[in-house]
Amino acid sequence: MIEHEELASLNQWLLTGAGRYVRSWEQRYISRLLRQVFGYHAVQVGLPQWDFMRHNRVLHKWSTTQQKSDQKTHYALVVCAAEHLPFANESIDLIVLPHTLETSSDPHQVLREVERVLVPEGSVIISGFNPWSLWSLADRLPGLEQHLPIQPSLHLSPWRIADWLELLSFEMTDQVFGGYGPLCEQRHWIRRWHFMKGWGAKMWPVFGGLYVFKAKKRVNQITMVGLDWSKTKRGLVPRAAAVNKPQMNQTGSTKQ
């Protein structure tokens, strides 16, 4: 994972005006995607101070963090790295990754761990900054102040994440993009640019500053095909197949 200081910077940024907008948008759409997710165990990997699973009905919930702190968390806290989750194979029904992949030194390993611990048909929610958005491109321009808390080089494109999920036998079921207007600190400027939401969703939907994905773990099942003995009458021996026997003609020769 990235350094603890940078994770702390991400948490602090989420308290700013722009950060509150990002957190509110992600909370709204993650909650929508989680309404129909059920099960017994759920884990939020990273950002334990923010409860992205509040509207989900899974019975038992945990949050993970790299370093234990005195900050109040909503669920039982597990101290671990996202690349090495301390859960048994196929034991978790739901995993939420809020900006977890882009703050990891090995995001593909994080997804491998997610695939390992998820039950078949289990769900994963992924949120992140879009490197093909105006937000990320503005941070890449030299001489301009960086506004996002994570380096643009660490942002993961939606297409790369989709490829990784497909390699791990996940099926993408939902994807949402947002953040089409400029990234503003003041609330009144955020409201002024609100009209960009409709325009962006119609004209350049995949170039929003934020994305939220939902994917399901698919497992190929082998179906054994054989004789259906339930349809065989009791005591009835199956009839033998017909066999062609040689026949004698009038001249004494045989024919098949």
36-45, 120-129, 156-165, 173-182: least confidently modelled range? 173-182
> H/E element holding 213?
strand 210-217
Contacts of 244 (CB under 8 A, 6+ apart): 256
Q: Does residue 250 lie within any of the structural domains? A: no
14-23, 92-101, 235-244: least confidently modelled range? 235-244
- At residue 209, the pLDDT reads 87
Average pLDDT over residues 126-133: 91
Q: Is 170 left (phi over 0), alpha (psi -120 to 50) or beta?
A: beta
Angle at 92 between CA 212 and CA 106, to 5 degrees: 55
Q: Does residue 167 lie within any of the structural domains? A: yes
- At residue 17, the pLDDT reads 85
Give the integer Cα–Cα distance in Å for 40 and 35. 14
58-72, 80-94, 179-193: least confidently modelled range? 179-193
- Residue from 138, 177, 180 nearest 157 by CA: 177
Strand ranges in 15-164 using DSSP code E only, listed in sequence order: 41-45, 60-65, 76-79, 92-98, 118-129
Give the integer Cα–Cα distance in Å for 69 and 11. 13
- At residue 134, the pLDDT reads 78
Q: Does residue 236 lie within any of the structural domains? A: no
Question: Which phi and psi angles does 19 have, rounded to 5°?
Answer: -65, -35
Q: Does residue 240 lie within any of the structural domains? A: no
Q: What is the CATH number of the domain that holds 60?
A: 3.40.50.150
Give the integer Cα–Cα distance in Å for 155 and 102. 6
Average pLDDT over residues 137-149: 68
Helices (H), the chain: 4-13, 17-34, 107-117, 134-140, 158-167, 187-192, 196-203
Q: Does residue 196 lie within any of the structural domains? A: yes
* Higher local confidence (pLDDT), 13 or 254: 13
Question: Which phi and psi angles does 214 have, rounded to 5°?
Answer: -125, 130
Q: Does residue 246 lie within any of the structural domains? A: no
In total, how many domains does the chain have? 1
* pTM value > 0.85: no
- At residue 4, the pLDDT reads 62
- Amino acid residing at 90: E
Q: Does residue 116 lie within any of the structural domains? A: yes
Torsion sign across C-alpha atoms 213, 82, 153, 129: positive
Q: Does residue 182 lie within any of the structural domains? A: yes
Average pLDDT over residues 45-74: 87
DSSP codes of every residue in 215-235: EEE----PPP----GGGSPTT
- At residue 67, the pLDDT reads 80
Q: Domain residues for 105?
A: 4-217
Q: How confident is the model at residue 249 (pLDDT cuts 50, 70, 90)?
A: low
Average pLDDT over residues 90-102: 95
Give the integer Cα–Cα distance in Å for 66 and 136. 26
